Amino acid sequence: MPQSMDHMLSEEHQALVGAVRDFTREVVAPVSATHDEAHSFPYEVVSQMAGMGLFGLPFPEEHGGQGGDYFALCLALEELAKVDQSVAITLEAGVSLGAMPIYRFGTPEQKERWLPELTRGERLAGFGLTESEAGSDAGGTRTRAVLEDGEWVIDGTKEFITNSGTDITSLVTVTAVTGERTLGDGSVKKEISTILVPTDTPGFTAEPAYDKVGWNASDTHPLTLRNVRVPEENLLGERGRGYANFLGILDEGRIAIAALATGAAQGCVDESVRYAQERETFGAPIGSNQAISFKIARMQARAHSARLAYYDAAARMLAGKPFKTEAAIAKLIAGEAAMDNARDATQVFGGYGFINEFVVARHYRDSKILEVGEGTTEVQLMLIARSLGLD
């Protein structure tokens, strides 16, 4: 992070940034290219992140957490994503999509059962929302759950679920249609609820992992649920509030994703500055050429703007103020900054920018999903326009 932003951080947050930055340089960076090439999940890195307490950053100590806040998580994500977006998204999804729904909406018994191992990073959880017919239109969920003899019987499929098939994944929270109700105008509305499904439940299958363009070291699977039976008390939150609760989780998650995208954008700047100072053509560093220096300057402006946007959204969230629009703005700005900076960084690197062992090449492949996942760019624009009264 540029020194000019340090004044906005507490001493505790500055110490966290320094620790994660050192960890990223010393532990994550040396193995990133290897895991990316092999499409292998970095268990040893995740284990060390767990030892640092990163998975418990925004959770209270009574649940095994560090007693920090959501902004601390965002700062850690930014640092990790500068070097390895796969590692960063593993942490982001493990916290904001895996453990956070249980913390926000779980019963005392559910929190006691699941949170300690999730916040300590010993286990991971996924959030099973997306389906082939239900992505941006999450209300199109087709997975169904029927209550029979004190058990939820679940049938359906899910797509693109992060952290759903690792050796340390303990559960996936799935959205399912649990009924229907007739509205005053005679129309019928689906009742969507969320249910905790342990991954060792018979009928739950994490299908073979996707062959992705990027985020190759993160874990992403389609899921199949066939006659999956879990206890009635595995309902997470109020019945019929699953969709509404999920939207709240996504609002928070967009701030975290914006932090991750900011890290990717800044990582491209840092690598480009280093290369532009070292690489010489015609007897001078390429950074002495205005075409290169101006390109990198514009990249820094994007990263700085993205950081300010997610800082603002996080501050509003922690102050208990409305932040939905600001989270959408942060996600929009940061996602585009990451993709634009990755494109420009590969141009600065020339042929080396097309070689996968270089960080900027991985950022070029990884960053596109930041304009799609956890709410597409178009969804963010829709939310922003709606806040302006432009339905």
State the pLDDT at residue 138: 67
d(CA 285, CA 160): 43
pLDDT under 70: residue ranges of the chain = 1-4, 136, 138
CATH class assigned to 3-124: mainly alpha
Write down the pLDDT at residue 325: 97
Integer CA distances (angstroms), 369 to 264, 331, 373, in order: 12, 12, 6
Distance CA 127, CA 159 (A): 10
Backbone dihedral angles phi then psi of residue 167, each to the nearest 5 degrees: -70, -15
Residue 177: the pLDDT is 96
- pLDDT value, residue 8: 81
Specify the pTM: 0.95
Q: pLDDT (tens digit, 9 = 90+) per residue, 177-221? A: 999 887 777 777 889 999 999 999 999 999 999 999 999 999 999
CA 348 to chain centre: 28
Question: Tokens representing 267?
Answer: 């990582």
Homologous superfamily of domain range 125-240:
Butyryl-CoA Dehydrogenase, subunit A, domain 2 (2.40.110.10)
Does residue 230 come out as left (phi exceeding 0), alpha (psi in the -120 to 50 range) or beta?
beta
Please name the residue ranges forming H helices in the chain. 11-23, 29-38, 43-52, 70-81, 85-92, 100-105, 108-119, 242-278, 290-318, 324-349, 359-366, 377-387
The structure tokens listed for 259 are 């932090």
Which residues belong to the active site?
374
Of 368, 50, 43, the closest CA to residue 215 belongs to 368
End-to-end alpha-carbon separation of the chain, Å? 38
Let me know: does 198 contact 226? Beta carbons within 8 Å.
Answer: no
**What's the topology of domain 244-387?**
Butyryl-CoA Dehydrogenase, subunit A; domain 3 (1.20.140)
Q: Domain spans of the chain?
A: 3-124, 125-240, 244-387
Distances (CA, A) of 44 to 56, 69, 96, 387: 18, 25, 21, 43
- Residues 42, 29: contact at Cβ < 8 Å? no
Structure tokens at 255: 């701030």
